Amino acid sequence: MSARIIDGKAIAADLRGKVAEDAAAFLQQTGRKAGLAVVLVGNDPASEVYVGSKVRMTRETGMGSFEHRLPAETSEADLLALVARLNADPAVDGILVQLPLPRHIDSGFVILAIDPAKDVDGLHPENAGRLMAGLPGLVPCTPLGSMLLVESVMPDISGANAVVLGRSVLVGKPVAQLLLAANATVTMAHSKTADLPALCRTADILVAAVGRPQMVKGDWIKPGATVIDVGINRLAPAEGAAKGRLVGDVAYDEALEIAGAITPVPGGVGPMTIACLLKNTLTAARRRAGL
C-alpha cells in the first residue's frame, strides 16, 4: 500500500484563509492593516520569484505590503539604515530581508539589526533563544510549516521517535526544538552520524533537511513512518530539457512504497513556508498591538 501524500498546497491554502480572516479582524480592532516589509538586495532570480510570491500573498490576505528592492551594490551601512527605519515604522509589523545577500554584506549583522518583535523569519538569536527556552517568540517559517504538516497526519506525537537529518540554524535545529516541545523523542543526525540508514529506520517521524538530492533511500525508512522532505534540489537537465526537475532529499518513489505519509517536492513544505510567514506577520502585529 502506498503512503498518504501530505498536500502542502491545500494545507497552506487553508492556513492563508485563516490568516485572511484574522487580518480582517485585526483591521477592525486597530483601524490599520498588519504590515510586512520585504527587502530584496540584488536580482538573484530565485529570490525575485520568492519575493514576488510573498508580496502577492501578503496583499491577497488583506495585509499591507512594503516592498524594498535595492541594487546589488547597496552597501551594508545603507541596508542597516533601511532596517533601522523599518524597525521604527509603526505601520511595519514584520521585516523579512531575503537571503542570500550579496557577498559584501554580512547577513548575520543584518539579522541582528532586525527588531526581534518584527523578525518574522524567526532568525534573530533572541527568537532562537525563546524557542529553546519554550517562551513565546517568532518561529522560523519552514520548521513551523513542517510541524503543521506532521500534525495534519499525527495530531499527537507524544512519545514518537523523531529523527531530524540536518543541523542548520534555518531548519534542523528549530524543527528539533518544535518536535521536542510536542513531546517527541528527538535525535539530530548529520554528516558525521554513524550508520545513518539504521538510525533513520528507528524514526516514526523523519525530517530530511540536508540539501542532498534523493539521499534518503526507501530502505532507510521505517514502515508506516511520516516523512517530511524539506529539501529542494534541481537535478541536471535531461537531454532536450531546458531545466532539470525538482526533487527533495528523499528518493520519493521508493519512500512512497514504505512510508505511512510523505510530503511531495514540490507541493509539500514549500507552500507552507510562505503561509507561515503570513501567520508570523499577524502574530507579530497582534503582539505589538497588545491583543
Question: Residue 233 is which amino acid?
Answer: N
Phi/psi at 50 (5° precision)? -60, -45
Q: 90, 46, 44: which is closest to 66 by C-alpha?
A: 90
E-assigned strands of the chain?
A: 4-5, 35-41, 64-70, 94-97, 161-165, 185-189, 205-208, 226-229, 233-234, 246-247, 261-262
Q: 69, 59, 68, 52: which is closest to 35 by C-alpha?
A: 59
Catalytic, 98? Answer yes
- The CA–CA distances, whole Å, from 152 to 47, 262, 274 equal 29, 11, 18
Catalytically annotated residue among 98, 118, 119, 173? 98
Catalytically annotated residue among 33, 54, 222, 279? 54
Catalytic, 121? Answer yes
Catalytic, 54? Answer yes
Q: Are 259 and 3 in contact (CB under 8 A)?
A: yes
Catalytically annotated residue among 22, 93, 119, 121? 121
- Residues in CB range of 123: below 8 A, 6 or more apart: 111, 140, 169, 170
Q: Is 285 exposed, middle or buried (0-12, 13-18, 19+ CB in 10 A)?
A: buried
- Looking at the DSSP bridge assignments, the partners of residue 228 are 207
Q: What are the b/e assignments for 97-115, b being 16+ CB within 10 Å?
A: bbeebbeebeeeebbbbbb
The DSSP secondary structure of 233-281, one letter per residue, reads EEPPPPTT-SSPPEE-SB-HHHHHTT-SEE--SSSSHHHHHHHHHHHHH
- The C-alpha atoms of residue 153 and residue 261 are separated, in whole angstroms, by 7
- The residues carrying an active-site annotation are 54, 98, 121
